[in-house]
Chain A
Amino acid sequence: MITVEDNVAIICPPQELTIRNVGEFVDECREKAFTGNEIALNLIGVYEIDSSGIQSLIALKNESNERKIVVNIVGMSSEVDEMLSVYNVTSFMSNQG
């Protein structure tokens, strides 16, 4: 799910990012997401996302901002796009901290 190449943590969350499995995603983020100095967040493969999933992405972004680590969204599925729109956080996620 998370690989680190050239100081960039490439995060590809699972196809389903919901309350059922968000805990595993969060655990892995805590362990590996901040090991580089940049994050590439690829959300293209996320076909199912709920509010707990969005919350985890926002928490990832919050901590990245605090650590001054840049998060680049490199891909986004329509499901994630729609959910970000519902919560009106599309620009928050895209802004560079």
Chain B
Amino acid sequence: MFFSNEQLQDALKEFKEECIELLDRMEEGLMTIQENGPSHDEINAVFRAAHTIKGSAGMFKLNHLVEFTHVAENLLDEIRNDNIAFNHELIALLLQSKDHMLEMVLFYSQNFGQEPDEVIRASSKSIIDSLQYHLNNDISVAEEGKPAEKSGWHVEILFGTDLFEAGMDPSNFIRYLTRFGTIEHFDLDTALIGNISNYNPKECKIKCEFDLNSSISEAEILDVFEFIIDDIEIRLTQCLPDNSNDVDDDFLSDHEQLSESSTNIVEVSSGMVVDSAKSQVTSSSLRVDSDKIDVLINLIGEMVIANANVVQKSSEIKNNELMQSVSIVSHMLEEIRECAMKIRMVQIGDTFNKFKRIIHDVSKNLGKEVELVISGGDTELDKTLVEKINDPLIHIVRNALDHGLESGEERVLTNKRAKGRIELNAFHDAGMITIQISDDGRGLDEEKIFNKAVEKGILDPHSKLSQKEIFNLIFEPGFSTAEKVTDLSGRGVGMDVVRKNIQSLRGSVDISSSKGKGSVFTIRLPLTLAIIDGFLVRVGQTHYVIPLEMVLECVEYLGEDNDEYSGNNYINLRGTILPLLSIRSHFSETHPKNTEEKENVVVVRSGENRFGVIVDELLGEFQTVIKPLGKIYRGVRGIGGSTILGTGEVALIIDIPMLINVIGSEHHYTDKKG
């Protein structure tokens, strides 16, 4: 066995992740072709994805996956050679093939060493039959117009001296080549290996040449060596099998050159020279298990807490030199924290792109024509958040497709374009990421929602609710206005889960809608779930942290300015009415207020809402490691988590969006000009 068990598991995990990425790329390419028509770049990208998956699967001897992908790859090869024209039917078939490949990748990642069961095999056969049908029937280019058929290659390879230590075995690559054809006249340069008394057993001294009787292209041969292309010298000469004597005798004469050369050359007989340094451009990133980054971030979190304790102690000792050193360490720690958090940041574009496929499939099922517009795909947020927001987004988009957008006929009758439109947009705002899903459909029907809520017993018929509150009823458990339940949505079990999932990420979801014009779902999420910059305040004996990016400014609270306005506290802030919330009264702080101490107002913002939080003391910026709340605090609205201070005390993190919802539902305040 070439790998140890542990190495095999790691390699399999990497294989699975790589395949999922490549399959996503394949899907993205197919969807782009569907949208914009075929382009050579996209077709090549799809072909390369399939080809790389086949190559990787071959390394693990995942035969069924190799066989299946080989057929799909053949079809793609004919397409990219302009022998078969792309059409919607082919795109659908290739998307189906991609889904099936994913199914097999997942199977093998969990059942290594086994071949797929009958169900998977039956699906494979059915899809292969369809692929084969197109391969046999769609080729339109006349046979006589084709270039002369390739009969074979003479291959010369010098493997790099460091290959063994890199965990690579040349024999695996040679064996793999036999999948494409037969190997003849294999000649290993045994003299290069030398005598046992004076050679280094850890160095690879494999230099060989052979004839490969196969019709594969040079690119396909080079792809076999893709993983080690920087560590080998290879020459391919296209020839008949008996032409092997024509090869230059002086090729690869200097073995030492390879280990010393930083830009080895991959040379092919056509005269094309590929500088392998170019291929390194695409491999400047490093794939790291996200669990390892989680461990790093947790450790940094613990360091931040420990450092807060050091800062506290040093300020008690009041030694200037010590305080200066501690300050330097704190600053560096902050930079380390920022760097570590950036590692976890990924663009949301990849998630958005997956919706092309969902919209393609769902709109086809529903018989609706839908256009998807994506913007802000380069907006970054924490990887964990990207993963967790995926399901809520899918649900909202499916709802928009199913209930939001009207049928083509209905749209034409209301003077709209027959093709519906769904927009996905993301942007950063006030230290949070905002994701908007909008449609130009029929919009939410306030009356219908209200009546449905009454009918379901969620609402008293005499209730007086604002438009926003009525819209928010769709997030109530068991609520559904769909007249018929489809397999897409309308079961009333989704939107409450959507809201819960978003809230569990310390986020919020809002709806705005205009009847006949469409709806906008706005999701606001924190950028990260682990460590944030906070603003530490005190009320009574309790410390609270407000996310710093939501803090606009702090002003002194003058009690005499306090007045009643529509039943709410407010202040006049430079001509603007600013609603106030007293933390003391909201969280029922029992410790008496120090009458000599002047209170302060922290002005905060979330989305379009602004309000002031009254606190006893402002303590300044604080690196906040977010810790989950204990069970008894989970029901407290307005608290999103906790953190540990340098003194070891616990501070509560205020969830500003939640607090705004709480105040909003208690008092319908508005931010008015004074």
A residues in contact (CB < 8 Å) with B:
19, 22-23, 25-26, 29-30, 33, 48, 50-52, 54-56, 58-63, 66, 83, 86-89, 92
**Which interface class (under 10, 10 to 19, 20 to 34, 35 or more) fits B?**
20 to 34
Q: Are B164 and A19 in contact (CB under 8 A)?
A: yes
- Give chain A nearest CB distance to B21 CB in angstroms: 29
- Give chain A nearest CB distance to B314 CB in angstroms: 51
Q: Can you identify 20 A-B contacts, CB atoms within 8 angstroms?
A: A19-B202, A22-B201, A26-B201, A29-B196, A48-B1, A50-B169, A51-B164, A55-B201, A55-B204, A55-B205, A56-B201, A62-B191, A62-B194, A62-B196, A63-B196, A86-B171, A86-B174, A86-B175, A87-B186, A88-B186
CA distance A15 to B438 in the complex (A): 65
Interface string of B194-206 (1 = CB under 8 A from A): 1111010110111
Please, which residues of chain A bring their CB within 8 A of the CB of B201?
22-23, 25-26, 52, 55-56, 59
Q: Are B193 and A58 in contact (CB under 8 A)?
A: yes
B residues in contact (CB < 8 Å) with A:
1-2, 164-165, 169-171, 174-175, 186-188, 190-191, 193-197, 199, 201-202, 204-206, 208
CA distance A86 to B202 in the complex (A): 20
- Give chain B nearest CB distance to A53 CB in angstroms: 9
Q: Are A51 and B1 in contact (CB under 8 A)?
A: no
Asked if A87 meets B188 with Cβ closer than 8 Å, knowing A26-B201, A52-B202, the reply is: yes
Q: Are B194 and A87 in contact (CB under 8 A)?
A: no
**Contacts A50-B169, A60-B196 known; 13 new A-B pairs at CB < 8 A:** A22-B202, A30-B196, A51-B206, A54-B171, A56-B196, A59-B196, A62-B193, A62-B195, A63-B196, A66-B195, A83-B171, A87-B174, A88-B188
Q: Are B193 and A55 in contact (CB under 8 A)?
A: yes
* Nearest B residue (CB) for A20: B4
From A48, A56, A86, A92, name the one whose CB has the most chain B CB atoms within 10 angstroms.
Answer: A86
* Nearest A residue (CB) for B195: A63
- Give chain B nearest CB distance to A25 CB in angstroms: 8
Please, which residues of chain B bring their CB within 8 A of the CB of A25?
201
CA distance A52 to B195 in the complex (A): 14
* Nearest B residue (CB) for A61: B190
- Give chain B nearest CB distance to A65 CB in angstroms: 9
- Give chain B nearest CB distance to A63 CB in angstroms: 4
Please, which residues of chain A bring their CB within 8 A of the CB of B205?
55
CA distance A58 to B199 in the complex (A): 11
From B175, B191, B201, B202, name the one whose CB has the most chain A CB atoms within 10 angstroms.
Answer: B201
Q: Are B175 and A51 in contact (CB under 8 A)?
A: no
Please, which residues of chain A bring their CB within 8 A of the CB of B164?
19, 50-52
Q: Are B195 and A59 in contact (CB under 8 A)?
A: yes
CA distance A13 to B360 in the complex (A): 61
* Nearest B residue (CB) for A29: B196
Secondary structure of the A contact surface, majority rule: helix
Please, which residues of chain B bring their CB within 8 A of the CB of A54?
171
CA distance A42 to B242 in the complex (A): 37
CA distance A55 to B195 in the complex (A): 10
Q: Are B187 and A88 in contact (CB under 8 A)?
A: yes
* Nearest A residue (CB) for B208: A87
Please, which residues of chain B bring their CB within 8 A of the CB of A55?
193, 201, 204-206
Please, which residues of chain B bring their CB within 8 A of the CB of A33?
196
CA distance A24 to B208 in the complex (A): 26
CA distance A30 to B190 in the complex (A): 18
Please, which residues of chain B bring their CB within 8 A of the CB of A30?
196-197
* Nearest A residue (CB) for B178: A86
* Nearest B residue (CB) for A92: B190
* Nearest A residue (CB) for B199: A59
- Give chain A nearest CB distance to B178 CB in angstroms: 9
CA distance A54 to B188 in the complex (A): 11
CA distance A23 to B197 in the complex (A): 12
CA distance A55 to B201 in the complex (A): 8
CA distance A58 to B195 in the complex (A): 8
Q: Are B171 and A62 in contact (CB under 8 A)?
A: no
Q: Which 5 A-B pairs have the closest CB atoms?
A: A63-B195, A88-B186, A59-B196, A26-B201, A22-B201
* Nearest B residue (CB) for A18: B2
Q: Which of A52, A59, A60, A92 contacts B204 (CB 8 A)?
A: A52
Please, which residues of chain B bring their CB within 8 A of the CB of A92?
190
Please, which residues of chain A bring their CB within 8 A of the CB of B199?
26, 59
CA distance A56 to B190 in the complex (A): 11
CA distance A86 to B186 in the complex (A): 8
- Give chain A nearest CB distance to B209 CB in angstroms: 11
Please, which residues of chain B bring their CB within 8 A of the CB of A61?
190
Q: Are A50 and B194 in contact (CB under 8 A)?
A: no
Please, which residues of chain B bring their CB within 8 A of the CB of A88?
186-188
* Nearest B residue (CB) for A50: B169
- Give chain B nearest CB distance to A11 CB in angstroms: 11
CA distance A26 to B175 in the complex (A): 26
* Nearest B residue (CB) for A21: B201
From A22, A56, A58, A92, name the one whose CB has the most chain B CB atoms within 10 angstroms.
Answer: A58
Q: Are A59 and B193 in contact (CB under 8 A)?
A: yes
* Nearest B residue (CB) for A83: B171
CA distance A3 to B131 in the complex (A): 61
From A52, A55, A61, A66, name the one whose CB has the most chain B CB atoms within 10 angstroms.
Answer: A55
Please, which residues of chain A bring their CB within 8 A of the CB of B188?
58, 87-89
